[in-house]
Amino acid sequence: MRLTLSLLLGGLCLPAFAGQPVPANLEPLPPPPPFDAAPDAASSNEPEVTIIKQTEQTVEEYRAGGKLYMIKITPKNGVPYYLVDDQGDGKFARQESLDSGIRPPRWIIRRF
């Protein structure tokens, strides 16, 4: 019943919107600026990653703005670990994962 009523009212409103006159002083939009497929690296927010493969491990160096802030070391037989510069002073601290350990509560309020 509600669906039928809402469809009927919606159908009655359509002619009101369709009959609006178009202003005579409309101008076309200017063309979009040209697409630059290769933006310069200085303006990019993406980190620069350098991958160094060695015989026993793979080292990935992450840089932002030319500054090294994180190193991921993946041993050939083992779990990867990270060296992170938290303070920005060039001293790296080892972390087993990038998980901060913070666990916000996630309750189900309603299921749809």
In a domain, 84, yes or no: yes
In a domain, 23, yes or no: no
The pLDDT value given to residue 89: 82
Predicted TM-score (pTM) of this structure: 0.50
Q: How many domains does the chain have?
A: 1
- Find the helix or strand (DSSP H, E) in which 8 lies: helix 2-18
The pLDDT value given to residue 72: 92
In a domain, 40, yes or no: no
Question: What torsion, rounded to 10 degrees, do the Cα atoms 38, 41, 43, 46 define?
Answer: 100
Query: What does each of the 112 residues of the chain score in pLDDT, given as a tens digit?
Result: 788 877 777 777 666 666 667 778 888 888 988 877 665 545 556 789 999 999 999 999 999 888 898 999 999 988 888 888 877 788 888 777 766 666 666 676 777 7
Q: 85 is in which domain, residue-wise?
A: 48-90
The pLDDT value given to residue 58: 94
The pLDDT value given to residue 88: 79
Cα gap 12→76, rounded to integer Å: 70
